[in-house]
Structure 1
Amino acid sequence: MKIGVAADHAGFEQKNQLVKELTDAGYDVKDYGAYSYDPLDDYPDCVLPLANAVAAQEVDKAIAVCGSGVGVSVAANKVPGVRAALVTESYSAHQGVEHDDMNMLCIGARVIGPALIKEIVDAYLKAEYKGEERFARRLNKVLAIEKQHIQ
């Protein structure tokens, strides 16, 4: 499984830790930046390369980190094909994939600790979209909304 990871300055250290942990666990990890700590960087700039990779299906799943997780979630969801969600506990991490085909996990490095982040990431990466009729029906409605708003 190919995993894409990105962060702004607030999530920079946690992103680097995730890259190491995921690589050590045997995942194929691509780091989309930031590549150095810059306290003046902006989360939209940091998450856009990752969101584009998700939309182009260059990665199977993605993880974006900022201070709260909100900014990267909002920005990533502007890219057609991205289904990003801010997650703060493990149930939503797997349920978001299983029911909603979530393809980007967003995490707040300043609001949850490393142990919980690891638990959330593990739940997310192990989950698979179930594709049952009710989930596919709902996902198709979301995709139709997205299609209506693509200029």
Structure 2
Amino acid sequence: MADVHDKVTRSRNMSAIRASDTRPELIIRKALWQAGLRYRLHVKALPGRPDLVFPRYRAVVMVNGCFWHHHDCYLFKWPASREAFWREKITKNELNDARVLAVLREMGWRVAYVWECALKGRNKLPLPEVTETLGGWIRSDQDTLEIRGIKKA
């Protein structure tokens, strides 16, 4: 009986995880809107349903959680329990991210990644710096961009 209860509890906990409208995504959306950049949200016609789409600039922005996308920062730690489950899940996420990036690039889209560690925690960047960097990239013709938290030595 405990197994059934554990599965129900886990599924409830996993269902509480948001795929869109996360706090880091909302921070970026608000900052870019205030900077005068207009976008579309989660366009279903594009692979990976990018968080922000700037059709005018052929640019998309993905705001990634460091845990879910296996970022190499202090916010990512492998869970101690159910190790096989988490390794499989996160590895699938990484493979999907690589596939989505390749397809978007083939379609002629430019792709930026903003990592959660750039927006929260001890290594976060000042929001005006993130906004300025991202806004400059959107208006440029540079192919890709990655914004991550400050790497401490």
TM-score by length of 2: 0.41
The structure with more radius of gyration: 2
Q: Which has more helix, going by share of residues?
A: 1
